[in-house]
């Protein structure tokens, strides 16, 4: 069932955006609990609501936290593998450039007006493709950024990325940014795309 639903979501943006409500069985002991975990994992549930079952809530909270920690660990291993190679036989380079040589952009997000400030029936939504220019400051430290081949900001959404770099330090006073790159030399572009991914690898 999970595979069928996944294919439907891939075939239709409306289906993918509409979400899914899963009403699970009331069997919560032994095999029943394992089936609950399997359903959550297979259907990729991102919100789990437990009603009138304190013990089940505690069990699921612990289980899902462990899964999140495992995913975070796997993600950090992949980031390290990108810079150091699968056998850790590569040597990334550390470079420092003036902050005005880099333009940092974020895709999506942005402030939303509260629904109470909108006309009746209207909903506040954020544009998932909205581009926001970010200043080079300490908040970018440990951010994993994509290096875009774009030559102008309006090309960012439609242009491939060359690879990734990891911001190690931002000296706002001197206007300098230190970053780690998997290969030496200048970056192939000046437009960086940042998101929520961060890493503390050295």
Q: Name the strand (E) or helix (H) holding 171.
A: strand 161-171
pTM: 0.63
Shortest CA distance to 96 belongs to which of 180, 172, 162?
180
Could you give the 3-state DSSP secondary structure of residue 60? helix
8 Å CB contact between 199 and 79: yes
Q: How far apart are CA 196 and CA 191, in angstroms?
A: 17
pLDDT score of 3: 79
pLDDT score of 21: 83
Q: How far apart are CA 95 and CA 55, in angstroms?
A: 51
Q: Which residues of 114-126 are buried (b: 16+ CB within 10 A; e: fewer)?
A: eeeeeeeeeeeee
pLDDT score of 170: 96
Q: What is the pLDDT along the chain (202 residues), one digit of tens a residue?
A: 777 877 887 788 777 777 778 888 777 788 888 888 888 878 777 778 888 778 888 888 877 777 777 778 888 889 999 999 989 999 999 999 999 999 999 998 655 555 566 676 666 566 778 899 999 999 999 999 999 999 999 999 999 999 999 999 999 999 999 999 999 999 999 999 999 889 988 8
The residues, ordered by sequence, that sit 6+ positions from 192 with a Cβ below 8 Å of its Cβ are: 102, 103, 104, 105, 145, 146, 147, 148, 165
pLDDT score of 121: 66
8 Å CB contact between 87 and 169: no
8 Å CB contact between 179 and 102: no
pLDDT score of 8: 81
């Amino acid at each position: 069932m999970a595979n069928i639903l996944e294919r439907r979501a891939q075939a239709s943006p409306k289906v993918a955006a509409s979400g899914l409500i899963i009403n699970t069985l009331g069997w919560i002991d032994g095999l029943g609990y394992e089936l609950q975990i399997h359903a959550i994992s297979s259907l990729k549930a991102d919100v789990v609501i437990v009603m009138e079952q304190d013990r089940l809530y505690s069990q699921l909270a612990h289980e899902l936290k462990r899964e999140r920690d495992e995913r975070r660990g796997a993600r950090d291993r992949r980031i390290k593998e990108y810079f150091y190679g699968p056998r850790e036989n590569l040597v990334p380079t550390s470079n420092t450039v003036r902050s005005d040589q880099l333009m940092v952009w974020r895709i999506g997000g942005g402030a939303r007006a509260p629904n109470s400030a909108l006309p009746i029936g209207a909903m506040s939504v954020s544009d998932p493709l909205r581009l926001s220019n970010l200043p080079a400051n300490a908040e970018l430290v440990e951010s994993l950024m994509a290096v875009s081949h774009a030559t102008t900001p309006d090309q960012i959404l439609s242009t491939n990325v060359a690879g990734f770099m990891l911001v190690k330090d931002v000296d706002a006073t001197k206007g300098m940014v230190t970053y780690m790159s998997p290969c030496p030399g200048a970056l192939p572009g000046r437009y960086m795309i940042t998101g929520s991914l961060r890493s503390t690898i050295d």
